[in-house]
Amino acid sequence: MKRIRLVVAYDGTQYHGWQIQPGAVTIEAVLNEALTQLMREPIQVIGASRTDSGVHARGNVAVFDTESQMPPDKIGMALNQRLPEDIRVQVSEEVPSDWHPRKCTCIKTYEYRILNRRINMPMERLYSHFCYYKLDVDRMQAAANMLAGEHDFKSFCSVRTQVTDTVRTVYKIEVTRNDDDIITIRVTGNGFLYNMVRIIAGTLMAVGTGHIQAEDMPSILEAKDRRAAGPTAPARGLTLIEMKYEL
């Protein structure tokens, strides 16, 4: 028996998130089915990040155990022949049998993309959130700076979360605009609460329009109340960029 680690990229538009759900098509379910056919044994992957419906990934991580003698580095290429075009394995490799993607120390990076212009651009509609109102990137960055560090992010967490510890560390948060009117909020941290990045994005957009002041960030954190922060930004703008482990 050996354990295989996969780095998986996907367009989440047509999927009900990562985790298996009754009567719904999910990334996990599609991977399990394709791997079971390829390896000719029942396979169930363990995913690192259970991304929500409509969220994309460039580097989510999953593992599975197999008795197959297929070389680990060949599994990804063979699996891609069986997967739909909107899911692709980027890396397949063997890891220690006790390596678990949700129990090992990891640094995660997410990006939230906002198309900020007068008229929407059709090619961006699936991978960014369109905002008609002009956003002030400098004010958004000033607010973002106050979220860096270790904080209790309960105000930036969905009320549906089941975790009791809401303290997380954000190592870096950057807000940039490119020449195509795409504003990118890039957040790197040691872990994220349910909807945390989307709530941060929604709150920073409210700062960008002037509905929330950058100076309000400390009081929003101190409130530990979801109602104190801004709205939850739509899923389509969010992409899990990478997960860095010490292997």
Give one DSSP letter per residue of 26-72, joined into a string.
Answer: -HHHHHHHHHHHHHTS----EES--PPTT-EEEEEEEEEEE---S-H
Instruction: Please identify which of the residues 52, 65, 73, 152 carries the catalytic annotation.
Output: 52
Tell whether 133 is in a known binding site: no
Pick the CATH number of 104-243 from 1.25.40.20, 3.40.50.300, 3.30.70.660, 1.10.10.10: 3.30.70.660
The domain ranges of the chain are: 1-93, 104-243
Q: Tell me how far apart the alpha carbons of residues 110 and 200 are, in angstroms, rounded to a whole number.
A: 11
Same fold, 1-93 and 104-243: yes
Question: Active-site residue 52, yes or no?
Answer: yes
**pLDDT tens-digit map of 17-58:** 999 999 999 999 999 999 999 999 999 999 999 999 999 999
Tell me which of 11-15, 51-55, 68-72, 161-165 is least confident.
161-165
Please state which CATH class domain 1-93 belongs to: alpha beta
Q: With contact defined as beta carbons under 8 Å apart, do 224 and 82 qualify?
A: no
Residue 212 phi/psi, 5-degree rounding, is -125, 140
Q: With contact defined as beta carbons under 8 Å apart, do 219 and 182 qualify?
A: no
Q: Tell me how far apart the alpha carbons of residues 234 and 112 are, in angstroms, rounded to a whole number.
A: 10
**pLDDT tens-digit map of 69-128:** 999 999 999 999 999 999 999 999 999 999 999 988 999 999 999 999 999 999 999 999
User: What is the CB neighbour count within 10 angstroms for residue 53?
Assistant: 17
pLDDT of residue 20: 95
